[in-house]
Each structure stands twice: as structure tokens, then as C-alpha cells.
């Protein structure tokens, strides 16, 4: 893989844990601490049901937790919130604004990712605009987004020449995750498989095992 242009000096392969919608900030933080301690590589703060005040409070709590564990915090959708809380970056969907705008606000060292769904063309355009990583999915049926566009694992290998970390998302389990790593995924992005698990720490370790050659 080519050396990424910006702030991916820290590890950029493994589990990309994405938070669920959670109104109870204490419960959210408790579960996130478990996942970070178990070895999650990156954390994305995503809460589609919270108002702006709660999202700001939760993002600040998570930024502090991630800093303690030296894990990057990426904010979903909202580069303004990422800037306000000092997050490490932002993840943008196709309707969440321009990569160049987020880069100007967050600086050259921010990690900026883009959802590319089932499209290699979107990924090429995102990297050309300055994205540090691209995400494809849903790779499998997803309980979080049951109507999501479907991406095929071959898209990961096709995107390898882009030279940035590739994120797979959507319905990923410890049983099917290794096949995506074999296809070229650098990070497995998971919400419910981690945070809805009876033991989020054990679930984190199970996903990380997808990256071991003996899996």
C-alpha cells in the first residue's frame, strides 16, 4: 500500500468500531471503554437520533476516552462537530458536504473518510479530492441499514491501487470478516456486531482475529 498523504501514522488496520444510537451517555462511554481496551483500532461516533447538544456532549466524552487509548476518533457526517471537539477526523457520506471543505476546516493531519457504497468511481473521486480512506458496503445484509446498497467483495481488490486504507462495512461478523480481509479490507467497520454483543470486549477480539493469518 502506498503511504497515505496525511494523518495515518497510527495503525490503520483492524476493527473500526462505530457507536450505536444511544441516549444514555454513561452507558455509551462504558461500552466504548471496553471496546477500546480490547483493542479497537479506530472509533467512529455516530448517533442519528440525538440532538445537537447530546451529540456534542457524547463526542467530547468519546474524544477524551480515545485520547487515553491513543485511538483516533472519527465523527460521522459532521465536520463542524469534529472540529469543535478536536476529533481526529470525519467520515462523510455522499450528502454530508465536500471533502475539500472538511479538509480546510480540520487541517492537513485530519483523517477524512468517504462512503463509496458500491462504486469504484466514487472511491476514485474521493481519493482525488483528498480522502484518506474509502468505505464500501453493505458487503452483507445489515441490521443497521437493511436497505443499503450492496457491494461485492471484489470491489475491495479492485480499489487496492487507490493506495489508501479500505474499509468494509455492512453485516460483518467474525465468521465472514476474514474473507473481506483476504479480499483487501484494511478495516472492518462494525456497529451492532460489537455494541449489541453480550460481551463487547470479546466481540472486539473476535473481529480482530480476522486479521491473523491462522484465522
Range of the domain at 31: 14-210
Per the CB < 8 A criterion, the answer to whether 189 and 167 are in contact is yes
Instruction: Assess if residue 36 is contained within a domain.
Output: yes
pLDDT in tens, 111-141: 999 999 999 999 999 999 999 999 999 999 8
- What stretch of H or E contains 205? helix 200-208
Instruction: Assess if residue 8 is contained within a domain.
Output: no
**Ramachandran region, residue 184 (left: φ > 0; alpha: ψ -120 to 50; beta: rest):** left
Coil, helix or strand for 90? strand
In whole angstroms, what is the distance from residue 165 CA to residue 175 CA?
22
Domains identified in the chain, total number: 1
Residue with cell 477526523: 89
Instruction: Assess if residue 186 is contained within a domain.
Output: yes
Q: What 3 state SS string does 100-169 have? A: HHHHHHHCCCCEEEEEEECCHHHHHHHHHHCCCEEEECCCCCCCCCCCCCCCCCHHHHHHHHHCCCEEEE
Q: What proportion of the chain, given as a percentage, has pLDDT over 70? A: 93
Of 167, 162, 106, 163, which Cα lies nearest the Cα of 136?
167
Instruction: Assess if residue 127 is contained within a domain.
Output: yes
Instruction: Assess if residue 3 is contained within a domain.
Output: no
Instruction: Assess if residue 6 is contained within a domain.
Output: no
pLDDT in tens, 75-110: 999 999 999 999 999 999 988 889 999 999 999 999
Q: Is the pLDDT of residue 147 over 90?
A: no
Output the pLDDT for position 94. 87
pLDDT in tens, 22-59: 999 999 999 999 999 999 999 999 999 999 999 999 99
Average model confidence (pLDDT) for the chain?
93
| Residues belonging to the active site | 46, 115, 145
Instruction: Assess if residue 2 is contained within a domain.
Output: no
CATH of the domain at 24: 3.20.20.70
Q: Span 162-178, mean pLDDT?
A: 96
CB burial of 130-142 (b: ≥16 within 10 Å; e: otherwise) equals bbbbbbbbbbbeb
Per the CB < 8 A criterion, the answer to whether 83 and 105 are in contact is yes
Helices (H) and strands (E) in the chain, counts: 9, 8
Instruction: Assess if residue 5 is contained within a domain.
Output: no
Q: Is the pLDDT of residue 9 over 90?
A: no
Output the pLDDT for position 58. 98
Output the pLDDT for position 4. 40
Amino acid at each position: 500500500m502506498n503511504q497515505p498523504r496525511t494523518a495515518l501514522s497510527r495503525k490503520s488496520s483492524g476493527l473500526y468500531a462505530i457507536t450505536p444510537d444511544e441516549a444514555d451517555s454513561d452507558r455509551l462511554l462504558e461500552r466504548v471503554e471496553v471496546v477500546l481496551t480490547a483493542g479497537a483500532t479506530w472509533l467512529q461516533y455516530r448517533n442519528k437520533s440525538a440532538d445537537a447538544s447530546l451529540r456534542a456532549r457524547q463526542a467530547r466524552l468519546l474524544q477524551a476516552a480515545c485520547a487515553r487509548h491513543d485511538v483516533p476518533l472519527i465523527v460521522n457526517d459532521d465536520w463542524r462537530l469534529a472540529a469543535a471537539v478536536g476529533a481526529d477526523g470525519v467520515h462523510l457520506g455522499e450528502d454530508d458536504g465536500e471533502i475539500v471543505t472538511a479538509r480546510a476546516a480540520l487541517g492537513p493531519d485530519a483523517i477524512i473518510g468517504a462512503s463509496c457504497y458500491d462504486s469504484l468511481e466514487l472511491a476514485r473521486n474521493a481519493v482525488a479530492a483528498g480522502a484518506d480512506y474509502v468505505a464500501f458496503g453493505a458487503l452483507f445484509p445489515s441490521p443497521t441499514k437493511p436497505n443499503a446498497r450492496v457491494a461485492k467483495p471484489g470491489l475491495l481488490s479492485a480499489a487496492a491501487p487507490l493506495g489508501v486504507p479500505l474499509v468494509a462495512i455492512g453485516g460483518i461478523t467474525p465468521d465472514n470478516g476474514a474473507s473481506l480481509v483476504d479480499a483487501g479490507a484494511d478495516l472492518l467497520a462494525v456497529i451492532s456486531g460489537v455494541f449489541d454483543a453480550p460481551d463487547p470486549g470479546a466481540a472486539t477480539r473476535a473481529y480482530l482475529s480476522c486479521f491473523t493469518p491462522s484465522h
